[in-house]
Amino acid sequence: MQMTVRTSKPYEIIIERGCLDALGARCAALFPAGAKAALVSDSSVFPLYGERCLSSLREAGFAASRFVFPAGEGSKQLSTVGQMLGFLAEQGLTRSDFLVALGGGVTGDMAGFAAACYLRGVPFVQVPTSLLAQVDSSVGGKTAVDLPQGKNLAGAFHQPALVLIDPDTLKTLPPLFLADGMGEVIKYGCIRSRSLFEALRDAEELGGIMEKVLFECVDIKRQIVERDEFDTGERLVLNFGHTLGHALEKAHHYAGLTHGAAVGVGMVLISQAGEAMGLTKPGTAGQIAALLEKYGLPTRDNASLEEVLAATALDKKGLGGDLRVVLLREIGESFVHRMPRAEFAAQCRRALGGGKDGAL
């Protein structure tokens, strides 16, 4: 399966089992013979697929090197990107060379950010190996790192030159991270595709529909990104559940709670708030919670609501004293609702029964 993303720099997305071995050949169609390729990966993914990808690049005639960093969200910071940039300079990469991001969302976000910064922009290729990265973060050109004040606050828009998705890599994904990716998969059903939501609800096992799920999620994102590349309008709906989800991750100090799990809790709470405001069809939050539970994701958290609300202060969708909150009219239909931060906080408290100090 293949599709083209027609942004300011168009690129192909290829979804194909075993396509890791075609990495070098695919890159040879994009970059000059003898170019340097810097493979960026983490300490969990590189032992699984790193040498295989390096061999493919070298067999295609590229001078391939590697940069491996400690796995985990804790590495997603400016200091790691600084080390990465130093490595690229030591390897002598030029604008005719390229990076390859091999791994999950942390790897893709950081390698893409480094590619955007180095020499004011060099090409990079996304080779996502986690479900979350395959259905979401590898597509669309958002790159970033975390700051102590919040998630993804330092970054740039930098579209990849190619996205190569090999569903076989999901076979080595631990159950925790497969569930993590399902948070984003369910999000796509919520915001744009009732049929996807229902297919996930009715599926007896995920393996039989996985490639269809990958294609539909990526295609939904492709369409939205093409219409709103720089996140000023429609693309905001991709952040359903993320305002509270990102804040929840910060409350957990980016440890012990995966991104997809945090987004799932955020989707349930914001839908409860939408129902309380009369903007979301009654029962929607319950449907989302049931599907999250089916795929091993939480629907509640023990973090303090007030702590989480405070952490939304630097939400990237904010406009002055207002927040642009993504709500559902019903499953499959989303919209952006602008509201004062104080009203947002009041509605979240109301959704939880009015308590100010209770857990989510």
CA dihedral (307, 313, 315, 319) positive or negative = positive
Three-class secondary structure of residue 164 per DSSP: strand
Cα separation of 245 and 27, whole Å?
36
Q: Residue 347: its pLDDT value, please?
A: 87
Of 134-138, 146-150, 210-214, 267-271, least confident by mean pLDDT is: 146-150
CA distance 72 to 40: 14
Q: Model confidence over 2-38: pLDDT tens digits? A: 999 999 999 999 999 999 999 999 999 999 999 999 9
**pLDDT higher than threshold 90 for residue 310:** no
Using CB atoms within 10 Å of the CB of residue 12, give its burial: 0 to 12 exposed, 13 to 18 middle, 19+ buried.
middle
- Give the pLDDT of residue 320: 64
Encoded tokens for 305 = 């609501």
Is the predicted pLDDT of residue 358 greater than 60, yes or no?
A: no
Q: State the pLDDT at residue 355.
A: 47
Helices and strands counted in the chain (H then E):
13, 12
Cα–Cα distance between 189 and 237 in angstroms, integer?
Answer: 12
Helices (H), 126-241: 131-132, 175-192, 194-202, 210-227
The enclosing H or E element of 40 equals strand 36-42
CB 360 within 8 A of CB 308: yes
Condensed to tens digits (0 to 9), the pLDDT of residues 158-206 reads 999 999 999 999 999 999 999 999 999 999 999 999 999 999 999 988 8
Decide: 23 and 56 in contact? Cβ < 8 Å.
yes
What is the helix (H) or strand (E) element at residue 278, kind and residue range?
none
Question: What kind and span of H or E run contains 242?
Answer: helix 242-251
Is there a contact between 240 and 223 (Cβ–Cβ < 8 Å)? no
- Regarding predicted confidence, which is higher, 258 or 352? 258
| Beta pairing, strands 124-128 & 318-319 | unpaired
